Structure 1
């Protein structure tokens, strides 16, 4: 069997690719919209055929790539029947099987984070994919989307902790860089519900977390209730080949920072900050040209069509808007530096005129 654990840094989401090596049939668990091109490239390089994508629940922190994969690969969309999502090809219930080649995943209902959460268990019970139900030394939150700490506690104990102790558990998220745990570990060491902790202990813990809502919830939940359907189909757009780019659900192409650092003279870098920022302590990227956002539409004619354009600002917001302005001005090869100078400096990349 082929198994790959993939990561989206922006949302700290894990996507899992499983395939039968003999037949090349594959499934993708919890795909992320912005990573569809990455996932597609891997599937094509491994010469696999994507049968379907499976979302473990309706996510609130990222938009699923299910619909985009269906447009590109013809894969089917699968999600829990209790999710409330529209547009899926298959609605899963407890006890269902999701076959790929000679292997299969079995579906276990694990409500609590949302009412439509599922856990996917490999046929030999050597690994399971727990979504946002059970995390590594933690659990998903239970304070919105019909969450229920009592249901979560029972689901984990009845559907996950009953698996063999050696069964490896792969969550949908981790925010500390951890990648895998096991049933035995979580039964002993999970601080929320392991050891001798009872259901009342768990519900008391969960009802007092006091977490802020996910930043993308107002975008992600409505989109995921339609399985990631995008009103404007970016798969019909010409795919840029001039650099490693990712396409966001907001319709913005973003540049790979490492590639940009290695190819500064191959592009036109347009810094859309104000002059005092351009000359300020954050510094600027070598070869960058200052055209403030408010002047960009009028001065777009100063830029050439001979090289792609990368837009930059402090944190990536103004420069994202700048890409739209430049496209309206007739420039097609345009990308945004996500995270702007803040991320560029945090990654230790080359700057001019900046303070340490």
Structure 2
């Protein structure tokens, strides 16, 4: 079973793509973002996938790649165009190379022009291609820095991307309007820069007169990406909060295991967000828990100490996950959800109380 996910980083409008072979449990990540590595690792864990490699489409100028950080966390190979000249690459790529994941693979097509090291990755059955900034949805990447060339980009797109089958879906590295996908046929017909009857003279004249400002993070991102995202100090940021061993779910919520909560209970604020009758029903409640129903939570924040960690609890973990999100948005810096809620707590035969509110 082929697994495909399109992920989004709002600060840079960057798409990251997960390709996985569900039967063999292997995956690739295309264009990972440094700050989104915890999200990506959580998704891989939930889907039961082992990351074989990260593939960047080019040396990005608007965000730092997560390639090095993922390599340090799970041993994935770092793949990038050999022409980019980056350090830390352990799988330099050239036109025609193949990257396997399980029984599937992508092939590499060199598509320079936006930068000299731009690559497009084409799925084995040519039903999907990942074009980076070489071809955007109804547009293309700029050509005025990082060894860009309008002549090269025109040839790259026309010869390497728009020659794919009409129904091949094209996934770019960015879109600033929230559009997620296009197709070869659409771009061949409707791309105002590269489709229709546009010729090289039209394209070059247009690209040479864009007069765009440089990306705000260019001075930071390009040097970092030439090291594959490795920080100057060679140190990984903390992945897990220090106050307790937690697990980050793909939903963005930190979870605490029941036994871990029991061990750390003395230092925590336990907030039960069920309704009052549930607090004393057959499941009971955690010893020392404070009842603040979810419907009242935002009006009773002053009852909680913002300096102490908060664990939210409910019957199954659903309402308490929502409470965790609300508490985090309200400025509480140490928040977790009890994994599985009272149902799992009871199943594991941990101590409960049944006294009234």
- TM-score normalized by the length of structure 2: 0.69
1:307 CA drift (Å): 4.8
1:207-218 matches, within 5 Å, as 207-218=208-219
2:239 and 2:25 mapped to 1: Cα distance? 28
1:193 and 1:238 mapped to 2: Cα distance? 46
1:286 CA drift (Å): 8.6
1:134 and 1:106 mapped to 2: Cα distance? 17
Q: Which has the larger radius of gyration?
A: 2
Cα–Cα, structure 1 residues 223 and 178, in superposed 2: closer, same or farther, change >3 Å? same
1:116 aligns with 2:154: no
Cα–Cα, structure 1 residues 304 and 107, in superposed 2: closer, same or farther, change >3 Å? closer
Residue equivalent to 2:26: 25
1:233 CA drift (Å): 2.1
Q: Does structure 1 conserve the Cα–Cα contact (< 8 Å) formed by 2:62 and 2:218? A: yes
Cα–Cα, structure 1 residues 305 and 66, in superposed 2: closer, same or farther, change >3 Å? same
- TM-score normalized by the length of structure 1: 0.69
1:150 aligns with 2:151: yes
Q: Does structure 2 conserve the Cα–Cα contact (< 8 Å) formed by 1:149 and 1:203? A: yes
1:307-322 matches, within 5 Å, as 307=309
2:61 and 2:176 mapped to 1: Cα distance? 15
1:238 CA drift (Å): 4.2
Residue equivalent to 1:8: 9
Residue equivalent to 2:91: 90
Q: Does structure 2 conserve the Cα–Cα contact (< 8 Å) formed by 1:72 and 1:235? A: no
CA RMSD of aligned residues (A): 2.8
Cα–Cα, structure 1 residues 201 and 223, in superposed 2: closer, same or farther, change >3 Å? same
2:165 and 2:243 mapped to 1: Cα distance? 46
Q: In structure 2, list runs of 5 or more residues that go unmatched.
A: 254-268, 272-297, 311-331, 336-357
1:245 and 1:61 mapped to 2: Cα distance? 26
Q: Does structure 1 conserve the Cα–Cα contact (< 8 Å) formed by 2:27 and 2:53? A: yes
Q: Does structure 1 conserve the Cα–Cα contact (< 8 Å) formed by 2:26 and 2:51? A: yes
1:37 aligns with 2:32: no
Q: Does structure 2 conserve the Cα–Cα contact (< 8 Å) formed by 1:71 and 1:235? A: no
2:168 and 2:243 mapped to 1: Cα distance? 41
Residue equivalent to 1:234: 236
SS of residue paired to 1:150:
helix
Q: Does structure 2 conserve the Cα–Cα contact (< 8 Å) formed by 1:112 and 1:149? A: yes
1:305 CA drift (Å): 3.9
The alignment of Structure 1 onto Structure 2 pairs a total of residues equal to 266
Q: In structure 1, list runs of 5 or more residues that go unmatched.
A: 247-254, 257-264, 268-284, 290-302, 309-331, 336-356
Cα–Cα, structure 1 residues 233 and 182, in superposed 2: closer, same or farther, change >3 Å? same
1:239 CA drift (Å): 3.1
Q: Does structure 1 conserve the Cα–Cα contact (< 8 Å) formed by 2:243 and 2:309? A: no
Residue equivalent to 2:275: none
SS of residue paired to 2:131:
strand
SS of residue paired to 2:54:
strand
Q: Does structure 2 conserve the Cα–Cα contact (< 8 Å) formed by 1:14 and 1:171? A: yes
Q: Does structure 1 conserve the Cα–Cα contact (< 8 Å) formed by 2:309 and 2:334? A: no
Cα–Cα, structure 1 residues 238 and 126, in superposed 2: closer, same or farther, change >3 Å? closer
1:220-251 deviation line (CA, Å, top 9, x unaligned): 001000000022523556436899999xxxxx
Cα–Cα, structure 1 residues 241 and 19, in superposed 2: closer, same or farther, change >3 Å? farther
Residue equivalent to 2:339: none
1:59 and 1:244 mapped to 2: Cα distance? 30
Cα–Cα, structure 1 residues 184 and 238, in superposed 2: closer, same or farther, change >3 Å? closer
SS of residue paired to 1:134:
coil
Q: Does structure 2 conserve the Cα–Cα contact (< 8 Å) formed by 1:65 and 1:228? A: yes
Cα–Cα, structure 1 residues 11 and 241, in superposed 2: closer, same or farther, change >3 Å? farther
Residue equivalent to 2:284: none
Cα–Cα, structure 1 residues 237 and 197, in superposed 2: closer, same or farther, change >3 Å? closer
1:111 and 1:241 mapped to 2: Cα distance? 47
1:133 CA drift (Å): 0.2
1:222 aligns with 2:223: yes
Residue equivalent to 2:181: 180
1:102 aligns with 2:103: yes
